[in-house]
Amino acid sequence: MSGAKVDIKVVLLGKAYAGKTSLVERYIHNRFSGDTVPYQNVITIGAAFGAKTVSVDNKNVIIGIWDTAGSERYEAMSRIYYRGAKAAIICYDLSDRSSFDRARFWIGELQKHEEGCQIHLCGTKYDLIAENPELRKIEERETAALAQDVRGKVYETSSKSGKDVALIFTNIASDYLKSLKNTEVEDNKEYMVPLRDASNKRFVCSGCKI
């Protein structure tokens, strides 16, 4: 899938092992490999790009998804992946406290460099918590408060069961369609024009400052 056909750019950020790739795999291919493949073998190198068409209100939206590597050495070049993103899914492992600290770091980065990017907080591996509530290291009220702070949404997902995975992307798509309508009203432009504009911007990336 070439990037030029994509309507929205979405980026996944978060600590290594947080479950970003699993989330994308569940969403795009509806599969979950879990323990059948050792994590070391599927650890993301750099970043991976995938795309999926989602239908909202009978309209098709193509979402381009950047699944970034959580390994710290890639941090210096993370900007090329989130630059121009309309939405960011910030993942943390509900059973790993340190992954939440890392999530805060990414929120900071986005607020500094990518103001227009809608933040979606995503607590992963809900199935583990459901099975054993003692594993939970991040409380819901904590994430809710943070989400309110950054005017973002918050989810608790499981790539194993599929819980709420598609919901994030559907929300992103409908947010996008809403924003299109708004610009339509404001600028009194045709529907297609802002769409093309929006897709062009991603590659030229004008207006980004170092």
Ligand X SMILES: Nc1nc2c(ncn2[C@@H]2O[C@H](COP(=O)(O)OP(=O)(O)OP(=O)(O)O)[C@@H](O)[C@H]2O)c(=O)[nH]1
At closest approach, how far in Å is the CB of 174 from Mg ion? 26
* Cβ proximity to another protein, 71 vs 183, nearer residue: 71
Neighbouring C-beta atoms of residue 47, cutoff 10 Å: 18
Question: How many chain residues bind ligand X (CB under 6 A)?
Answer: 23
Each residue 1-40 as x (binds ligand X by CB under 6 A) or -, in order, gives -------------x-xxxxxxx-----------x----x-
C-alpha span between 43 and 40 (Å, rounded): 5
C-alpha span between 181 and 81 (Å, rounded): 27
Specify the DSSP element, H or E, that contains 178. helix 165-187
Under the binding rule (CB under 5 A), the answer on residue 44 touching Mg ion is yes
User: Which residues, numbered 191-210, are part of the site for another protein (CB under 8 A)?
Assistant: 203-206, 208-210
In order of 136, 143, 154, 155, 172, the CA distances from 140 in angstroms are 10, 5, 9, 9, 21
Binding site for another protein (CB under 8 A): 1-4, 16, 21, 24-25, 37, 40-50, 67, 69-77, 79-80, 203-206, 208-210
